[in-house]
């Protein structure tokens, strides 16, 4: 009877351990679902590019070379790890993931004109304070986020993303020599996504703006980090306007194409 009683105790302990382990594993699995579904880094095939209606709104004639470039573009997939700061998380709460998804649906549609497929590889939330020093100077904050990406995000998420984007409810400025600093909405390093050591494949974007402008700011920084230069005045667009995604000046919300001929030619050299 003594041995039977002892075996029952051992069996009970083992059962409890297995139960606790399974609960922990399940909790971890649920927390990481959004990442695991997107990643499978070595086996996951790029999502198909949806067809985008390129029919000009105004009906004006478009330069033939613009469409010739379209046909030469090759498909590219950029999985983005989205980092949400504490202030944004407190605003959106349980709706954070849906909010991010809607943002990136529009960003992805913008990039499909270049046959670039932008996907959300994961959403990393700062639920208990900032994980970096947030400075009003955008350049300082960008450098701190680069260090955070290098030391923490890369070790945690490995190669499951190509670009890390910090969405924050902070206000950013850009110092200009001895003059008063000016407001800027977003910032990135130029041409880092395709680098082997892409710790600087990052961007910071202030979410203090309306959704349609926020979409454009996100697309603008992704394009710059990919290596697409901002447009000059001699760049061609279907509407002969420079007001598109990579414009240095006024960003147009409604345009026949979100990319200039210069931007498309640059992508041909990258992909």
pLDDT in tens, 177-233: 777 788 999 999 988 887 777 788 999 999 999 988 898 899 889 988 888 766 555
pLDDT band (50, 70, 90) for residue 49: very low
pLDDT for the residue numbered 16: 64
150: nearest Cα among 184, 118, 189: 189
Q: Are residues 130 and 202 in the same domain?
A: yes
Count the helices and strands in the chain (H runs, E runs): 8, 7
- 45: in domain: no
Domain around 186: 60-270
Instruction: Kindly state whether residues 73 and 142 are assigned to the same domain.
Output: yes
In a domain, residue 43? The reply is no
Q: What is the pLDDT of residue 156?
A: 93
* Residue of higher predicted confidence among 87 and 196: 87
For the stretch 95-123, pLDDT in tens is 999 999 999 998 988 888 777 889 999 99
pTM: 0.67
Which of 29-38, 155-164, 208-217, 220-229 has the weakest average pLDDT?
A: 29-38
Is residue 160 assigned to a domain?
yes
Say yes or no: 11 and 78 in one domain: no
pLDDT at 159: 87
Between the alpha carbon of residue 16 and those of residues 11, 12, 20, 33, the distances in Å are 9, 6, 6, 26
Lowest mean pLDDT: which of 34-43, 75-84, 245-254? 34-43
Residues counted in the chain: 271
Q: Do 29 and 82 sit in the same domain of this protein?
A: no
68 in the same domain as 7 = no
Q: Active-site residue 221, yes or no?
A: yes
Structural contact between residues 189 and 225, judged by C-beta atoms closer than 8 angstroms = yes
**145 found inside a domain:** yes
> Among 28, 72, 45, 88, which Cα is nearest to 209's?
88
Clarify whether residues 69 and 34 are in a common domain. Answer: no
Residue of 55, 221, 230, 256 with catalytic role: 221
- Tabulate helix, strand, coil % of the chain (nearest 5): 45, 15, 40
Q: Rounded mean pLDDT of 78-89?
A: 95
CA 214 – CA 207 distance, rounded (Å)? 6
- Listed range (48-52, 147-151, 182-186) with the worst mean pLDDT: 48-52
The pLDDT assigned to 142 comes to 96
Q: How confident is the model at residue 164 (pLDDT cuts 50, 70, 90)?
A: very high
Buried b or exposed e, range 17-30, using 16+ CB within 10 angstroms: eeeeeeeeeeeeee
The reply to whether 173 falls in a domain is yes
Residues 72 and 163 in one domain: yes
Residue 23 has pLDDT above 90, yes or no: no
pLDDT number for residue 66: 45
**Same domain membership, residue 222 and residue 92:** yes
129 and 33 assigned to the same domain: no
Q: Which helix (H) or strand (E) holds 270?
A: helix 261-270
Region 11-21 average pLDDT: 62
* Residue at 134 is within a domain: yes
Q: Which residue has the tokens 């760049």?
A: 235
Q: Looking at the 3D structure of the chain, how many domains does it have?
A: 2
Residue 48 domain-assigned (yes or no) = no
Find the CATH number of the domain harbouring 100.
3.40.390.10
The Cα-based distances of 133 to 99, 139, 140, 145, 188 in angstroms read 25, 12, 9, 8, 17
Look at residue 52 and tell me if it is in a domain. Answer: no
Do 155 and 225 belong together in one domain? yes
Q: Are residues 227 and 116 in the same domain?
A: yes
Q: Do 4 and 85 fall within a single domain?
A: no
At residue 150, the pLDDT reads 93
Compare 251 and 62 and report the one with higher pLDDT: 251
């Amino acid at each position: 009877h003594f041995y039977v009683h002892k075996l029952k105790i051992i069996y009970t302990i083992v059962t409890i351990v297995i139960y606790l382990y399974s609960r922990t594993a399940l909790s971890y699995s649920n927390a990481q679902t959004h990442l695991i579904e997107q990643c499978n880094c070595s086996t996951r095939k790029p999502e198909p590019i949806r067809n985008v209606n390129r029919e000009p709104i105004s009906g004006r004639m478009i330069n033939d070379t613009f469409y010739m470039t379209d046909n030469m573009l090759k498909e590219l997939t950029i999985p983005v790890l989205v980092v949400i700061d504490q202030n944004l998380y407190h605003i959106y709460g349980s709706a954070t993931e849906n909010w991010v998804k809607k943002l990136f649906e529009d960003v992805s549609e913008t990039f499909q004109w270049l046959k670039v497929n932008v996907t959300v590889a994961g959403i990393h939330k700062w639920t208990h304070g900032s994980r970096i020093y947030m400075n009003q100077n955008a350049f300082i904050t960008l450098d701190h986020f680069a260090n955070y990406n290098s030391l923490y995000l890369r070790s945690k998420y490995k190669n499951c993303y190509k670009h890390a984007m910090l969405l924050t409810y902070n206000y950013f400025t850009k110092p200009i020599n001895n003059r008063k600093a000016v407001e800027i909405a977003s910032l990135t390093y130029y041409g880092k996504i395709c680098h082997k050591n892409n710790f600087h494949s990052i961007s910071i974007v202030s979410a203090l703006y309306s959704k349609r402008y926020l979409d454009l700011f996100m697309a603008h920084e992704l394009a710059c980090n990919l290596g697409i230069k901002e447009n000059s005045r001699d760049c061609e667009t279907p509407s002969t306007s420079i007001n598109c995604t990579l414009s240095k000046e006024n960003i147009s919300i409604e345009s026949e194409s979100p990319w200039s001929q210069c931007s498309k030619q640059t992508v041909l050299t990258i992909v």
